[in-house]
């Protein structure tokens, strides 16, 4: 699936819920399905700066696609990174770099996060795109 297709799928899933209590629960459930980062990557080198809670993200190339793994010490944040990993993992670096993240606004996520969590979300996206830029540079 393309990034846009995955984003549309997420928008559809979130539209099934009537209120934010249900959407938060869904995010928590998504966080429980997150492919966990290997313990060796739960270090300062892989931590996302700007997040209220601890979030670790690791990326590696596999057959010219970037594969992400992640973890967080907070359940809501774990759900947020799970959504981002679902969208961006197993995609070509160029597609990640060129992708837009309007789906976050469309599902209403940003407006329902505290300012520090919203900043953390921006930091997570920025780090994912930085990994993609680094891998795209290697491919060129």
In the chain the domains, ranked by start, together with CATH numbers, are 3-139 (3.90.1010.10)
Catalytic residue, candidates 51, 57, 80, 132: 51
- State the pLDDT at residue 138: 86
Identify the segments of the chain with pLDDT beneath 70.
none
**Under 8 Å between Cβ of 26 and 112:** no
Give every CB contact of residue 120 below 8 A, 6+ residues apart in sequence: 48, 50, 51, 52, 53, 55, 77, 80
How far apart are the two ends of the chain, measured CA to CA in Å? 24
pLDDT digits (tens, 9 = 90+) for 10-36: 999 999 998 989 999 999 999 998 877
Is there a catalytic annotation at residue 51?
yes
Phi then psi dihedrals of residue 32, to 5 deg: -70, -20
- State the pLDDT at residue 52: 78
């Amino acid at each position: 699936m393309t990034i846009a297709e995955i984003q549309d799928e997420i928008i559809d899933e979130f539209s099934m819920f009537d209120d934010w209590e249900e959407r938060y629960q869904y995010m928590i459930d998504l966080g429980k399905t997150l492919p966990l980062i290997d313990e060796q990557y739960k270090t300062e080198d892989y931590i996302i700066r700007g997040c209220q809670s601890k979030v670790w993200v690791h990326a590696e190339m596999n057959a010219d696609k970037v594969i992400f793994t992640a973890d967080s010490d907070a359940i809501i944040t774990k759900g947020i990174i799970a959504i981002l990993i679902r969208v961006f993992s197993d995609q070509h670096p160029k597609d990640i770099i060129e992708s837009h993240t309007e789906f976050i606004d469309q599902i209403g996520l940003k407006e329902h996060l505290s300012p520090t969590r919203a900043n953390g979300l921006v930091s997570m996206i920025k780090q994912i795109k930085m990994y993609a830029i680094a891998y795209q540079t290697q491919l060129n």
